[in-house]
């Protein structure tokens, strides 16, 4: 069976080369993310670990999804060849073993190419993480010998899993039905497509619903998962949309011979169109959806700061300076916020065993009275008036009111009691507030201070800023400028997260789009030849195929947009619940670039492959046997 599989490889290499590239890139992405994740874990880089875990999950999903759809498409394209094997005596089990043997060879070839490519991807990801500040400049991921087994498992496992369902479907098709394109073999919306499409659609609705009831930290991973499940659901149900888009293009090109032919080809090639649109659907859902989610959170955070903070100026300096600022004529309130590092030790009892957890956090030292005059929202529970002595105020969901914590501050251990629970915010806000007396003097002197200054009635904030600057009390900015700068820093962080999570994965999905277009065109040589001997010129055939490719692109963009819109609905509900108003930011510029890029890439690839497929004399192809 392996010899027959290898013979098929050599004869139909155009059909398999794209699948090998797809497996190769999947192995490279998973291997790179896994090696960097392990190294980051040994170094205790929490932010990098979180990002890389998400990247690994997305990369694994893309590998499984794209390879599976590619194999399903490849098997569908070869249905006639498999039917001939059935006619000459091959049983269903033999057909399945043939396809699984091909998948095994493909997985081995893809793994062999993906392992060295993964080293290149690892360097690229490491450089990206370093430039964005998620890992230190001297960070270097190390090669681990066990990764060879993991990479082989990914390559071979994904290949076998990808062809398994398609091989079962091919084995069940009756030979004559497959040859005539009738019966069960010609059905596109199979029972499996309906089942998995509706199942993952229900999962998407559930994830979006849950995302609307959690904070930003939980909403982001939930919306990423919602985008993935929506991609699977809409990909499975996409054959329902292809005919509709075909009719739409037929109306737009009404009266055009090429438009009529393109519409007919879309109607007859629903499986081909749906398989080509699948990777584009995933690309749009992830890229546009997650960019919109992070941008919406950033905008909601900015709105929240403008609503909750009351002040005129913000003075940034090192060490305490509220007393000196309060002595400046015209200053009514100087609410200082000192950010200091702290460790929190918690102990829980599980089945009689005490489990200890130590967490590094950034605490904010505030004067409760001044803080209350510059921050409009009251605590959810407790009171900031009780924030004195060995006490602490914590963010919503961290610790219950009255809980006892063990904090490490400046080399000493301090027991703290929770006296207030702060309201939940989109941007996180200050999650731990400490009274001034808890922090040792040397620690406070080295801390970064941000003081919100409120001017007295009638005092000009500009004159006040000049007076503060003249005394050298710190860098002065207006509250509006400070909020804008904070929002800009948050947007830069969000852009970094998008680059790490979806940078290489987006490139992978784009290459998969090109691969699907190449496979689709490679198997249409005889079809194009028939069109040419029927009276069409080579240029007309190319234009017909171009119209088809743009219609398929429209399907991918439309369904990807629906998946992205679902994630935005979830984050809009979350912002409405937390900040009081629904905030949705649609990344129109990115969406426009994605649409233009997809039309250009898919159209250009289709023209190139169609020209290659129509290079031979049409009479020779029409007269060739199946």
- The predicted-structure confidence for 242-276, as pLDDT tens digits, reads as follows 777 777 766 776 667 767 777 777 777 777 777 77
pLDDT surpassing 80 at residue 502: no
Question: What is the spatial distance between Cα 58 and Cα 502, in angstroms, rounded to a whole number?
Answer: 8
Question: Which is more confident, 382 or 355?
Answer: 382
pLDDT surpassing 70 at residue 171: no
300, 575 in Cβ contact below 8 A? yes
List the structure tokens of 326: 């309060």
Q: Which domain holds residue 174?
A: 1-187
pLDDT value for 351 = 65
328-366 in b/e form (b: 16+ CB < 10 A) is bebbebbbbbbebebebeeeeeeeeeeeeeeeeeebbbb
Closest residue by Cα to residue 50 from 59, 40, 60: 40
pLDDT value for 512 = 75
pLDDT value for 626 = 46
143, 51 in Cβ contact below 8 A? no
Question: What is the spatial distance between Cα 566 and Cα 42, in angstroms, rounded to a whole number?
Answer: 37
* Residues sharing a CB contact under 8 Å with residue 147, sequence separation 6 or more, in sequence order: 31, 34, 35
Is 256 inside any structural domain? no
190-201 in b/e form (b: 16+ CB < 10 A) is eeebeebbeebb
Beta bridge partners of 315: 451, 476
Question: What is the spatial distance between Cα 212 and Cα 572, in angstroms, rounded to a whole number?
Answer: 7
215, 577 in Cβ contact below 8 A? no
pLDDT value for 14 = 61
Find tokens 């073999």 and name the residue: 185
Least confident of 177-186, 410-419, 472-481, 553-562: 177-186
Average pLDDT score over residue span 205-216: 80
Is 169 inside any structural domain? yes
Is 540 inside any structural domain? no
pTM of the full structure: 0.76
- Provide the domain count of the chain: 2
pLDDT surpassing 60 at residue 428: no
Question: Which is more confident, 351 or 458?
Answer: 458
pLDDT value for 202 = 92
Sign of CA dihedral 391, 392, 396, 400: negative
Is 495 inside any structural domain? no
pLDDT surpassing 70 at residue 184: no
- Last residue within a domain, chosen from 447, 472, 497: 472
The rounded mean pLDDT for the chain is 80
pLDDT surpassing 70 at residue 311: yes
Least confident of 56-60, 162-166, 382-386: 162-166
Is 610 inside any structural domain? no
Range with top average pLDDT, 41-45, 165-169, 389-393: 389-393
Classify residue 440 as left (phi > 0), alpha (psi -120 to 50) or beta: beta
Question: What is the spatial distance between Cα 480 and Cα 482, in angstroms, rounded to a whole number?
Answer: 5
DSSP state of 269: T
* Residues sharing a CB contact under 8 Å with residue 397, sequence separation 6 or more, in sequence order: 215, 424
513, 601 in Cβ contact below 8 A? yes
DSSP line for 103-168 = HHHHHHHHHHHHHHHHHHHHHHHHHHHHHTTSS-TT------TTHHHHHHHHHHHHHHHHHHHHHH
Report residue 518's pLDDT band, with 50, 70 and 90 as the boundaries: confident
- Last residue within a domain, chosen from 444, 472, 500: 472
Report residue 185's pLDDT band, with 50, 70 and 90 as the boundaries: very low
Query: 90-109: per-residue pLDDT in tens?
Result: 777 777 777 778 788 888 88
Query: 452-494: per-residue pLDDT in tens?
Result: 988 888 888 888 888 888 888 888 888 898 888 888 877 777 7
* Residues sharing a CB contact under 8 Å with residue 36, sequence separation 6 or more, in sequence order: 48, 52, 122, 125, 126, 129, 141
pLDDT surpassing 60 at residue 444: yes
Is 5 inside any structural domain? yes
Q: pLDDT above 70 covers what percent of the chain?
A: 85
List the structure tokens of 9: 């490889």
Question: What is the spatial distance between Cα 504 and Cα 497, in angstroms, rounded to a whole number?
Answer: 12
CA distances from 516 to 18, 159, 377, 609 (A): 8, 16, 54, 11
- Last residue within a domain, chosen from 154, 187, 220: 187
Query: 17-71: per-residue pLDDT in tens?
Result: 767 777 888 888 888 888 888 888 877 677 777 777 777 777 777 777 777 777 7
Least confident of 182-191, 234-243, 490-499, 606-615: 182-191
Least confident of 1-10, 31-40, 111-120, 307-316: 1-10
Angle, helices 92-131 vs 479-522, to 10°: value is 150
Q: How many residues does the chain have?
A: 626
DSSP line for 562-604 = HHHHHHHHHHHHHHHHHHSS------HHHHHHHHHHHHHHHHH
Average pLDDT score over residue span 205-228: 79
Is 91 inside any structural domain? yes
Is 390 inside any structural domain? yes
pLDDT surpassing 80 at residue 78: no
Query: 294-310: per-residue pLDDT in tens?
Result: 888 888 888 888 888 88
């Amino acid at each position: 069976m392996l010899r027959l599989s290898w013979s098929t490889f050599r004869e139909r290499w155009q059909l398999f080369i794209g699948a090998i590239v797809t497996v190769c890139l999947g192995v490279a992405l998973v291997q790179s993310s896994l090696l960097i994740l392990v190294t980051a874990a040994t170094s205790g880089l929490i932010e990098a670990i979180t990002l890389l875990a998400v990247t690994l999950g997305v990369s694994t999903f893309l590998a499984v999804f794209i390879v599976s759809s590619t194999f399903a498409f490849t098997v569908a394209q070869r249905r006639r060849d498999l039917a001939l094997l059935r006619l000459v005596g091959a049983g269903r089990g033999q057909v399945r073993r043939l396809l699984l043997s091909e998948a095994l060879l493909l997985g081995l070839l893809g793994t062999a190419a993906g392992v060295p490519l993964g080293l290149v991807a690892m360097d690229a990801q490491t450089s990206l993480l370093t430039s964005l500040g998620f890992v230190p400049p001297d960070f270097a991921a190390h090669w681990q010998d066990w990764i060879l087994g993991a990479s082989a498992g990914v390559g071979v496992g994904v290949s076998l899993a990808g062809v398994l369902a398609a091989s079962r479907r091919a084995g069940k098709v009756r030979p004559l039905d497959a040859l005539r394109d009738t019966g069960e073999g010609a059905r596109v919306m199979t029972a499996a497509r309906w089942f998995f499409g509706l199942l993952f659609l229900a999962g998407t609705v559930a994830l979006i619903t849950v995302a609307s009831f959690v904070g930003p930290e939980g909403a982001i991973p939930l919306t990423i998962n919602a985008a993935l499940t929506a991609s699977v659901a809409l990909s499975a149900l996409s054959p329902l949309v292809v005919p509709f888009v075909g009719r739409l293009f037929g109306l737009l090109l009404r009266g055009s011979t090429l438009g009529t032919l393109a519409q007919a080809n879309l109607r007859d090639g629903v499986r081909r169109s749906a398989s080509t649109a699948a990777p584009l659907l995933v690309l749009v859902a992830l890229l546009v959806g997650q960019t919109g989610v992070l941008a919406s959170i950033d905008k909601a955070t900015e709105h929240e700061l403008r609503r909750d903070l009351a002040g005129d100026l913000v003075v940034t300096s090192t060490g305490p300076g509220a007393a000196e600022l309060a002595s400046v004529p015209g200053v009514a309130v100087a609410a200082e916020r000192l950010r200091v590092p702290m460790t929190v030790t918690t102990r829980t009892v599980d089945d009689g065993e005490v489990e200890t957890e130590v967490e590094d956090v950034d605490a904010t030292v505030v004067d409760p009275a001044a803080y209350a005059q510059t921050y409009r929202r009251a605590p959810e529970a407790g009171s900031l008036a009780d924030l004195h002595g060995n006490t602490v105020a914590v963010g919503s969901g961290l610790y219950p009111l009255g809980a006892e914590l063990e904090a490490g501050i400046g080399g000493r251990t301090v027991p703290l009691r929770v006296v207030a629970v702060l309201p939940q915010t989109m941007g996180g806000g200050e999650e731990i507030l400490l009274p001034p007396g808890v922090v040792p003097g040397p620690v406070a002197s080295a801390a970064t201070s941000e003081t919100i200054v409120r001017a007295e009635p009638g005092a000009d904030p500009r004159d006040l800023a000049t007076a503060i600057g003249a005394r050298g009390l710190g860098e002065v900015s207006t509250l509006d400028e400070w909020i804008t700068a904070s929002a800009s820093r948050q947007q830069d962080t969000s852009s970094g997260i998008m680059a790490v999570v979806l940078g290489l994965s987006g490139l992978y999905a784009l290459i998969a789009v090109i691969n699907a277009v190449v496979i689709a065109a490679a198997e249409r040589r005889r079809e194009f030849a028939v069109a040419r001997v029927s009276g069409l010129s080579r240029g007309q055939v190319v234009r017909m195929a171009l119209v088809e490719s743009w219609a398929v692109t429209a399907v991918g963009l439309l369904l990807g947009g629906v998946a992205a819109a679902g994630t935005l609905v979830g984050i809009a509900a979350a912002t409405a619940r937390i900040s009081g108003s629904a905030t949705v930011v649609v990344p129109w510029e990115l969406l426009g670039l994605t649409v233009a890029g997809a039309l250009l890439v898919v159209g250009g690839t289709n023209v190139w492959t169609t020209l290659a497929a129509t290079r031979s004399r049409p009479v020779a192809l029409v007269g060739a046997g199946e």
